[in-house]
Chains A and B, each alone.
Chain A
Amino acid sequence: MKRHFARVLLAVVASLWFLPALPAHAEGESVVISGVIVDLSQAPIANVEFTLTAPDGSTQTTVSDATGLWQFSVNQTGGFIVEINPESLPSGVGLREPDRLTRSVFVFNLNNSPAQVQYLTGEGPKRASFTERALQLTLDGIVLGVTIGLAAVGLSLIFGTTGLTNFAHGELITLGGLGTFFFNSYLGLHLIPSALIALVLCLAIGGYAQDKLLWKPLRRRGSGLIAMMVISIGFGLMIRYIFLFFFGGDREQFLQYAGQAGLQIGPFSITPKMIIATIIGVVLIMLTILWLTRSTLGKASRAVSDNPALASASGIDVEKIILVVWVLGAFLAGFAGIMMGLNQGVQFIMGSDTLLLIFAAVTLGGLGTAYGAIVGSMVVGLFIQLSTLFIPTELKYVGALVVLIVILLVKPQGILGRRERIG
């Protein structure tokens, strides 16, 4: 319900931005969302990239033509999000509001007149040198690597102890991000308590309840690993679209710290919130490693990974270990979701969009080893960011996935993985 009030409010606000209607050339059942982008001297800018996210979550991309005009034709009603890609602006041109990359547009019905969206430009940031960019991207890569690593450790531990390749792990990330957003935006709590409640939700529902109610009964039934993998696909799909159902398809920001200004530390630019989040992330990963190497439970979990039958025979309660690993994995993934939310907002698809990168990290590190997952995550994070020095930003994930395939070709057992015993 709340959602719909928000939509109506959004629509009222959005309608204030609309300029008087252009001559209606919307034909039949579609509406045009468009704009003209010009620089300070009112000269049109061509080839600027815009992305439109529809209420059903689908996206389309377009670029401005020689007259600076860009447009989308839509044939559904609801809230749309337009996003500009600031990196597609020519050098020397930037956005006047660099933190406001998105605009919301609400289409009431398909006979509406075209919706106009405006982006104002100003002087762009001065082009950084290659070294400066490389340094900045290294920092961004570390932040991304920590984010991926938090999720990858959990995925890897679950894989190690149960053999499950969990295709629904991304939804734990989303649960962390959207959960925080829910308490923050819907219930009006401050971000920090919201995040804490969301994390409790993650470990209680995403971890404890998920294992108790879904995976443990399946293990009891003796479900095969491939069957469980397919079940996780169905589960992930269902949860993802339940999130969409309740939260809508828009990318949303937390209420606090959303537009935080970046700090300039030497050659690095980073927001204070990301410094803090990354440090917490690193601490969580280190605590996990300590737990694995020092605590009785952690050591037992490694024993279960090595040989469940042997571990069980030597008196380790395997089911208890698995439950602990699920709770820990869900907690870590939930924190990754909060980190991602702080950095780029939350959306129902945020987790599943990251899932392949997490798989890439885990596979690179060697399936089933927690350290491997962390190393793999840092490699993936750094590679993705640094690759943009050479390839278009929009293809950076593609680059990482290609590298995954190439590395498997050369070193099938992953960077840290050992050859396994056969027969």
Chain B
Amino acid sequence: MDFLFIFQQAISAAIGVNAIIYALAAIGLNLHFGYTGLLNFGQAGFLAVGAYTVAVLVVSFEVSIWLAFLAGIGMSILLALILGIPTLRLRADYLAIVTIAAAEIIRQVARSVTLREYFGGSDGITGKFGADFFALNPFKAGLDTPILRFTPNDLWVVLVGWVLVALFVVLTWAIVRSPWGRVIKAIREDEDAVRSLGKSVYLYKMQSLILGGVIGSFAGFVYAISRQSVQPDNYSTALTFFAYTVLILGGAARVLGPVVGSIIFWFLLVFVEQILRQAVANDLIPDWLLNPNQVGQIRFILVGLGLMLLMIYRPQGIFGDKKELALNARA
């Protein structure tokens, strides 16, 4: 087995575009779920709205990509309002059902044949819509070391992506230690208590939903720009559940939880997948037991199992301590 290759793949994944996308998506979820206690199961919808707004505006309407980013943020705010208005006054599980439904609505509308001329059906939209962004790329050469390999454009996306992650981490850090953060954490603990103290719970939940959703749309921007295409099935509910796994792995309600979670998640996922692939290719695992097509399926089985085990044995994240576990159990 080529362990150098396996490590190269795993480390590239751990600091690559996917890790950035999931870190951003999970930072948004951390505000929703970790700090405010909102069960948003439609984070994929926020990513889709961000990604599609940019792709459609730039490709079909030839809008400048910077304006398209602004529009994407606007659309994610709109989505948060549409989801929040009917559900934020209701019990937590209603928000869960409505958000997961909304994300599916977005995906199915985007992939529909009826609206193919706008959204490109199941093939999505492909085009050089990141041209304005890549025009700013200062890297003339890519990275080619034994461990890491990036093309110049990848390097640029990864650099900007991690800067975005850092910015949103700092934003989260600043906002959760402010009085505003105190209110949303209190809502997570008991919203009636917060009401009884004169705070509009609805307003704060809405602000949290919008802020986390906008951060999600940035994950969508990175997704779209890095691949120069958007495809509806990339934004399925599996994305949301993966992001939850990332968040819980790193530790919900921890500022760095989503980032740590995403790096570990992608490292492990690709590490295991590459080992299996090599084992299959080198006939260490017989073909009747596992064929190359099934290796990709193993990923989902592992994520599902991982999410279950984490939630059962370490709901405070792999680095959380026992004291918090005790608090969680009582809350």
A interface residue numbers (CB < 8 A to B): 1, 4, 49, 51, 55-56, 58-63, 76-78, 88, 165, 218, 221-224, 226-227, 229-231, 233-242, 244-245, 356, 359-360, 363, 367, 392, 394-395, 397-398, 401-402, 404-405, 408-409, 412, 422-423
CB nearest neighbor in B for A409? B86
Q: Bound state CA distance, A237 and B298, in angstroms?
A: 11
Flag B81-97 by CB within 8 Å of A: 1 or 0 each: 01001110111111011
Residue of A56, A222, A397, A405 with highest tally of chain B CB at under 10 A: A405
Overall SS of chain B's interface? helix
**Contacting residues, chain A, for B104 (C-beta < 8 A):** 356, 397-398, 401
6 nearest A-B residue pairs (beta carbon): A238-B304, A234-B307, A237-B304, A234-B308, A241-B300, A409-B86
* Secondary structure call for the A interface: helix
**In whole angstroms, how far apart are the Cα atoms of A203 and B264 in the complex?**
38
Q: Is B218 an interface residue (CB 8 A)?
A: no
Q: Are A359 and B297 in contact (CB under 8 A)?
A: no
The A-contacting residues of B in range 90-134, CB under 8 angstroms, are 90-94, 96-98, 100-102, 104-105, 108-109, 111-114, 116, 121-123
Given known pairs A235-B308, A422-B192, the reply for A395 and B114 (CB within 8 Å) is: yes
A59-B122, A245-B301, A405-B101 as given contacts; A363 in contact with B94, CB under 8 Å = yes
Could you say which residues of chain A place their CB within 8 Å of the CB of B91? 367
Q: Which residues of chain A come closer than 8 Å to B244, judged between CB atoms? A: 230, 233
Question: B81 to chain A: closest CB distance in Å?
Answer: 12
For the complex, give the distance between the alpha carbons of A382 and B257 in Å. 45
A1 to B292, CA, bound (A): 15
Q: How far is the CB of A360 from chain B (nearest CB, A)?
A: 7
| B-to-A contact residues, CB < 8 Å | 39, 82, 85-87, 89-94, 96-98, 100-102, 104-105, 108-109, 111-114, 116, 121-123, 192, 233, 238, 241, 244-245, 248, 287-288, 291-294, 296-298, 300-301, 303-312, 315, 328-329, 331
Taking each of A1, A77, A78, A233, which has the highest tally of chain B beta carbons within 10 Å of its own beta carbon?
Answer: A233
Judging by beta carbons under 8 Å apart, are B96 and A77 in contact?
no
B93 and A392 contacting across the interface, CB-CB below 8 Å: no
* A409 to B89 Cα, complex, angstroms: 10
B293 x A235 contact (CB < 8 A)? no
Asked whether A412 and B94 contact (CB < 8 A) given A222-B329, A241-B297, the answer is: yes
Q: A237-B238, A238-B305 are in contact. List 16 more A-B contacts (CB 8 A).
A: A51-B122, A61-B111, A62-B122, A63-B116, A223-B312, A224-B329, A227-B312, A227-B315, A230-B248, A237-B300, A237-B303, A356-B101, A392-B114, A402-B105, A405-B102, A422-B192
B252 CB to nearest A CB, Å: 10
Contact call B101/A401, Cβ cutoff below 8 A: yes
Given the complex of chains A and B, what is the CA–CA distance between A307 and B306 in angstroms?
34
Q: How many A-B residue pairs have CB under 8 A?
A: 161
Note all chain B residues with C-beta closer than 8 A to A412: 86, 89-90, 94
**With A and B bound together, what is the CA distance between A392 and B114 in angstroms?**
7
Assembled-state Cα–Cα distance A141/B98 (Å): 23
Given A60-B122, A241-B297, A409-B86, CB of A404 within 8 Å of CB of B101 = yes
Bound CA span A257–B312, Å: 44
Cβ of A165 and Cβ of B96 under 8 Å apart?
yes
Residue pair B114, A394 in contact (C-beta under 8 Å): yes
- Given the complex of chains A and B, what is the CA–CA distance between A224 and B309 in angstroms? 15
Residue of B92, B113, B308 near A61 (CB, 8 A) is B113
Which of A222, A408, A422 has its CB near the most chain B CB atoms (within 10 A)? A408
Contact yes or no, B308 A77, CB < 8 A: no
CA distance A363 to B307 in the complex (A): 26
Residue from A56, A218, A242, A423 within 8 A of B293 (CB atoms): A56
> Which residue, B93, B108, B329, has most C-beta atoms of chain A within 10 A?
B93
CA distance A317 to B177 in the complex (A): 46
Are A408 and B121 within 8 A (Cβ)?
no
Nearest residue (CB) in A for B97 is: A359
Complex Cα gap A76–B291 (Å): 12
* CA of A233 to CA of B238, assembled, Å: 10
Q: Are A77 and B97 in contact (CB under 8 A)?
A: no
Residue of A nearest to B234 (CB): A58
Closest CB of chain A to B187's CB: distance in Å?
Answer: 14
Task: Report the minimal beta-carbon distance from B312 to chain A, rounded to whole angstroms.
Answer: 6
User: Given A58-B233, A78-B293, is A231 in contact with B97 using a C-beta cutoff of 8 Å?
Assistant: no
